[in-house]
Amino acid sequence: MCSKLCLTRRKSTNSVNERTSAVTILHSGSSTKRGVPPTPKESSTRTKPLKQAGRQPIPEYQTSYQSRGAPGGPAMSSSSMLPAAATAASKRLILVHGTGHGGWCWYKVATLLRAAGHRVDAPDMAASGADARPLRDAPTFEDYSRPLLDALRALPPGEKAVLVGHSFGGMSVALAAEEFPDKVAAAVFLTAFMPDCAHPRTHTIEALPAGLDWMDSVTDEGHAPPSVFLGPQFLRRMLYQLCPEEDYTLSQSLARVSSYYVADQRRRPPFSADRYGAVSKVYVVAKQDLAMVEQYQRQMIASVPVAEVREMAGADHMAMLSAPEVLAGHLADIANTYA
């Protein structure tokens, strides 16, 4: 979801009261008026919540996934009752949000995983979530991803973490795996950008299908860095269409202006095969994602060697909100498998 692509470019206006429901966004003093569109009622399939590890049994999550070995190797379809080993020792997971969001969007999944005995961090990237800095104070992609890089750097010697990147968070996870491959037990891409090692870093962003309707989203190419604000109609209809209404309302209180840092990332060499490329990867497909559609997700999977491909049949783009119990089951099982 890149400001370079099909998103209509409009300058955000100054001195406009942004509140439809008392919402303020940080954008170098700029603000954008936003309305709340009609919202069709849709529901997602829910399962029982995770139980505490080592104390209560964790329910079985009937899901399916594919396992892939070396590039060109055959894909093996299988079904798994997840998480079969979620009562294992505590694992560390770091959950990375996408554009315009913050660590807050993981509140359901983080709670479930902690209740199951895992150690979970959901940091705000720079100028995101509760991080008070304006976007201009995070001029590069490395600046933006610094909270994740610092979290990995601070891990005790010998400890590894499972990184989970959602949407644009996949790019931050890739950067972290490039910088600290020995500290990453597995990189999980949840309906996320997953770069390869053969093309420029921005290739996967720029390959996003051109027909995506960005609706009321706004970009400002003159901002430093070039900025994007995902509009309320776009969020409701394209990203949150299966989410509970209260989670969409929460997003409207916490959404922030952000950037895809395309120009900055183009200046960097491709991710390396012996660092990022050597980290075990798992892709989680959200089959009801209307923005990063399943076909696009599978195009990325076809170009990058992954250890597993897992599917969430009832999840939209915001899978952590539309199907949190199912996602928590997947992540617990992945953590117990790779960490």
Residues designated catalytic: 167, 289, 317
Would you list the DSSP string of 198-220?
SS-TTHHHHTS-TT---TT-EEE
Taking the CA atoms of the chain, what radius of gyration do you get in angstroms?
Answer: 19
Q: Smallest Cα–Cα separation from 34: which of 17, 57, 9? A: 17
Q: Using CA atoms, how far apart are residues 264 and 332, in angstroms rounded to an integer?
A: 34
Q: Are the CB atoms for 219 and 226 separated by under 8 Å?
A: yes
Q: 49 is written with which tokens?
A: 């919540």
Looking only at the bridges linking them, the beta strands covering 92-96 and 119-121 are: parallel
Q: Using CA atoms, how far apart are residues 339 and 244, in angstroms rounded to an integer?
A: 32
Q: Smallest Cα–Cα separation from 34: which of 44, 21, 50? A: 21
Phi, psi of 301 (to 5 degrees): -60, -40
Q: Are the CB atoms for 144 and 138 separated by under 8 Å?
A: yes
Please, what is the angle between helix 324-338 and helix 107-115, to 10°?
50
**Residue 182's CB: how many other CB atoms inside 10 A?**
11
Q: Using CA atoms, how far apart are residues 312 and 288, in angstroms rounded to an integer?
A: 8
Q: Are the CB atoms for 81 and 62 separated by under 8 Å?
A: yes
Q: What angle do CA 133, 137, 138 make, to 5 degrees?
A: 100
Q: Smallest Cα–Cα separation from 125: which of 107, 155, 101? A: 101
